Amino acid sequence: MTFIMNPLLYPYVIKHQKQLDFHEFFDQVAPLTFGFPPVRSGKFPGMGEHVQRSFRLLQGENLNNLTETMMGNLMLVFRQDYLTGESEWRTESVYQLCNSIMFEATFLTLFGKPAHTSRHSGMVTLREDFVKFDTMFPLLIARIPISLLGGTKAIRDKLINYFHPQRMSRWSNTSGFIKERAALFEQYDSMGDVDKAAHHFAILWASVGNTVPATFWAMYYLVTHPEALAVVREEIHGVLQVSGIETDHNRDIAFTREQLDSLLYLESSINESLRLSSASMNIRVAQEDFSLRLEGERSIGVRKGDIISLSPQSMHMDPGIYKNPEIYKFDRYIENGKEKTDFYKDGQKLKYYRMSFGSGSTKCPGRHFAVNEIKQFLSLLLLYFDVEVLEGQEPCTLDPSRAGLGILLPASDVQIRYRLRRS
């Protein structure tokens, strides 16, 4: 494996999409992890290309629809589970709060609701089983046989069964993205129901496996930095006031995509927490022997099958790019009232300076939806609640056990107290 550590060289790697491909690596690890047959094995001709095209349903006007639906589902969970009772202080752990709300709201948005009610029964059990599986995820990606991981296979089978096509056919308000994938799978007679369900389970992991910890870090850094929290809360209030919307815990709130896009300080704070918590590796597998030309006359010989890896975390923590990179600076990505996009390394402007969602053609297709839903969650939280970190706790640190796989989990949870804000 060859590591490219200089971010000034990243564009030279990323532009070689034909010679350096991610899908070969994905096809090796995803089937073993999630329990479905390889997509590009020849058994399902054309499926890989169709699956890639389905990701367009996470963008454009479809993104607007997803964002609107997510807003409604977040309000549903907040309203029924948290916007009740008097304004006394309640205690909760940050990760538990983020996980319980974001897991269910995201599930409802993508996969839909039961036929005759607004929420699925057994959601708590589903979430708990997901966490158990997710704990073993790094070992599965490392290709440790699932048979050696205790009860992990039984848990995975249970999770997969939740997405059995017969069960899913009874759900309503399913997203266009999931509908298209389900219709695609039906075109392949050789794909069994369990295989179809396993693909849907993989999408569940993709939609919450990194988003929940990303939400945790975004919330954690805000509530532990009162100045940042005050600025972001004021910005959210200001956007609603311009639209003549009153904030009251008895009123449901809905943000348009345009309003979410205008929340520059909130977005900067989220991007800053992503910079500090993301530890993914961008992996590419060489499809042929070729010479990888770098800057100037430099080049390196690459053989078919060689693995090239970019390590964005080293860039995110580079003091030559980010001043005091270990410090949370909520407005780091704002300059003169606009998004800051000019970052430099050794006097040269960087094309890639923040890579929390990957790069090139394999950049996370759901990244815009993920950022929007984190914005929505934090906006509702700050509008409806006063939130304080309980005293006497050590600063939260990163758990390195998932290094290379995305957003790192916290090494321990953080206790907060919250109450309804007074009108």
Annotated binding-site members: 364
Neighbours of 143 (CB within 10 A): 11
Q: How far apart are CA 282 and CA 17, in angstroms?
A: 13
Q: Please give the backbone phi and psi of residue 417, each rounded to the nearest 5 degrees, phi first.
A: -125, 150
Q: How far apart are the first and last CA of the chain?
A: 58
| H or E segment to which residue 156 belongs | helix 152-161
Structural tokens at position 153: 């296979």
Of the candidates 140, 215, 157, 152, the residue with the CA atom closest to the CA atom of residue 369: 215
Query: Which residues face 280 on adjacent strands?
Result: 404
Q: Residues comprising the binding site for heme?
A: 364
Q: Which amino acid is at 343?
A: F
Q: How far apart are CA 177 and CA 163, in angstroms?
A: 15
Structural tokens at position 379: 């906006």
Q: How far apart are CA 343 and CA 321, in angstroms?
A: 6
Give the single-character DSSP code of 417: E
Structural tokens at position 312: 């964005």
Buried b vs exposed e over 34-47: b needs ≥16 C-beta within 10 Å? bbbebbbeeebeeb
Contact (Cβ atoms closer than 8 angstroms) between residue 195 and residue 186: no
Give me Rg for the CA atoms of the chain: 22
Beta strand ranges found along 89-227 (DSSP E): 90-93
Give the single-character DSSP code of 402: G
Give 59's contacts (C-beta < 8 A, 6+ positions apart): 365, 368
Q: Please give the backbone phi and psi of residue 362, each rounded to the nearest 5 degrees, phi first.
A: -105, 15
Of the candidates 377, 414, 415, the residue with the CA atom closest to the CA atom of residue 89: 415
Structural tokens at position 406: 């995305």
